[in-house]
Amino acid sequence: MALSTQPYKGARDFYPEDKRLQKYMFSRLREVVERFGYEEYDAPILEPLEIYLAKTGEEIVNEQTYVFEDRGGRKVVIRPEMTPTVSRMVAAKRQELAYPLRWYSIPNLWRYERPQRGRLREHWQLNVDIFGVKDTSAELEIITLVDALFKAFGASRSMYDIRLNHRQLMNYLLHDYLALNEKAVHDISKLIDRMNKMERRDFISKVDALLSPEQRENGTNERLLSILDAKQLGDLPAEALSQPATIELKSVIGQLNNAGISNARFDPTLMRGFDYYTGVVFEVFDTDPENNRSMTGGGRYDGLVGLFGVEPVPTVGFGWGDITLANFLESHRLLPALKPETDVYLVLVGDVSQAAQKLLADLREQAVNVAVDLSGRKIGDQFKTAEKKGLTYVLIVGEAELSQQQYKLKNLETGEEETHSLGQIVSLVKDYRNNPT
């Protein structure tokens, strides 16, 4: 029985061309978040089980995480998300950190579930958090940063929508304004979350099923629908407009719009992460109907650091998975042609591999990435190898070239071949690296 060559279910092998794409995405992400003053951190991929139990339901931990016991009898989880970890790290140094604290990471995360489009068992996720800012300037910065990320990938604002809501506003509307009890608030919130996936008629009847007879009589369902149909905050009932949450949300959206982020808007059906968000929440959707999904999102969660027994630290953050990002870039054709890191492929003519060592060393000394063909095959075959590797430049080196210290540099894309000195070759190749055409 032969061994299978498939990677583990729901996980990916990154062949060089895949890794190249990942490196491109990650370096863009790093560039932009660092431009906003965020610093990179990291942590172990394993965490003790408890930190997830404290925050989320047991069901999720038991059924959707990789849990095992180590040799010392400790319950261990392969991290399914970064938020508990970063909260733990902040809590550990609560007193000595410099706030506002701006941190980011691109961790590899695992969850145990059936793989489907856009969701595997393993993924990488950009996590960006700002700690220690109570007012909405934190939300404003984070969402501005998300918008800057899209711009850095070449996306225009027509390609994505930024939808915002506020946890406390929804709480007010459902609990106080509509006078729903706690259970109904919870169940109806779950329904609202799925509202766009079902027929309106189904939604109405499912809501009805959760209402008391009096509520069915007094038009609760109609009032709920009119809230959910609101296109902007001004469409909400007058009582809601004076709520602090409404004022916060209005301020954030207004400032975003003023800054030119015109695709940010209120969406009362956005429920995201009902469990632990405490304030503004947001999600960014692909406007392409083929890929109309949430790509990234986040919000304010002021309570998590406090779970570690220290004074709470107000926090706003978001996460963006590599798979949804890659899907977005592909569907909008925003991926540039990515080339290998190798600048030059050295083709040896005849038995000159010893004699070419000095040349190789000189090129590398000048920071040129050079791979040499060691096969000893015919030149044509060596060219084919370079071609197949996707390389642009081939340097032809035989006895004549070595003795004259003039080498033939061929561009495989244009077919042009010229004879140059080492110094000229270095600058030509570096020019191309910095500005490929």
Partner RNA sequence: GCGGGUGUAGCUCAGCUGGUUAGAGCGUCGGGUUGUGGUUCCGAAGGCCGUGGGUUCAAGUCCCAUCACUCGCCCCA
Interface residue list for RNA (CB under 7 A): 6, 9-10, 52, 56, 60-61, 64-65, 80-81, 83, 111, 113-119, 190, 194, 197, 272-276, 349-350, 378-381, 383-384, 387-388, 396-401, 408, 410, 412-415, 417
Strands 315-321 and 160-166: unpaired
Cβ neighbours of 288 (radius 10 Å):
14
Considering the complex, state which of residue 255 and residue 291 has its C-beta at the smaller distance from RNA: 291
Closest by Cα among 147, 167, 170, 171 to 159: 147
Angle of the 182-194 helix axis to the 200-210 helix axis, nearest 10: 170
Considering the complex, state which of residue 229 and residue 275 has its C-beta at the smaller distance from RNA: 275
Considering the complex, state which of residue 116 and residue 437 has its C-beta at the smaller distance from RNA: 116
Considering the complex, state which of residue 261 and residue 391 has its C-beta at the smaller distance from RNA: 391
Considering the complex, what minimum distance in angstroms separates the CB of residue 213 from RNA? 25
Length of the chain: 437
Considering the complex, state which of residue 220 and residue 296 has its C-beta at the smaller distance from RNA: 296
CA dihedral (80, 84, 86, 91) in degrees, to 10, reads -160
Compute the distance between CA of residue 107 and CA of residue 321 in angstroms, rounded to an integer: 10
Report the first-to-last Cα separation within the chain, whole angstroms: 48
Compute the distance between CA of residue 162 and CA of residue 347 in angstroms, rounded to an integer: 52
Considering the complex, state which of residue 71 and residue 114 has its C-beta at the smaller distance from RNA: 114
Do residues 107 and 140 lie in contact, with contact meaning Cβ atoms separated by under 8 Å? Answer: no
Compute the distance between CA of residue 252 and CA of residue 131 in angstroms, rounded to an integer: 18
Instruction: Write phi, then psi, for 202 (nearest 5 degrees).
Output: -65, -40
The DSSP bridge partners found for residue 418 are 409
Compute the distance between CA of residue 346 and CA of residue 63 in angstroms, rounded to an integer: 53
Considering the complex, what minimum distance in angstroms separates the CB of residue 182 from RNA? 16
Considering the complex, what minimum distance in angstroms separates the CB of residue 80 from RNA? 3
SS3 state of residue 34:
helix
Considering the complex, state which of residue 194 and residue 364 has its C-beta at the smaller distance from RNA: 194
Considering the complex, what minimum distance in angstroms separates the CB of residue 26 from RNA? 21
Do residues 160 and 286 lie in contact, with contact meaning Cβ atoms separated by under 8 Å? Answer: yes
Considering the complex, what minimum distance in angstroms separates the CB of residue 356 from RNA? 12
Considering the complex, what minimum distance in angstroms separates the CB of residue 27 from RNA? 26
Considering the complex, state which of residue 240 and residue 347 has its C-beta at the smaller distance from RNA: 347
Considering the complex, state which of residue 43 and residue 247 has its C-beta at the smaller distance from RNA: 43
Amino acid 222 reads E
Considering the complex, what minimum distance in angstroms separates the CB of residue 20 from RNA? 19
Instruction: Write phi, then psi, for 67 (nearest 5 degrees).
Output: -120, 140
Amino acid 153 reads F
Considering the complex, what minimum distance in angstroms separates the CB of residue 329 from RNA? 17
Considering the complex, what minimum distance in angstroms separates the CB of residue 352 from RNA? 9
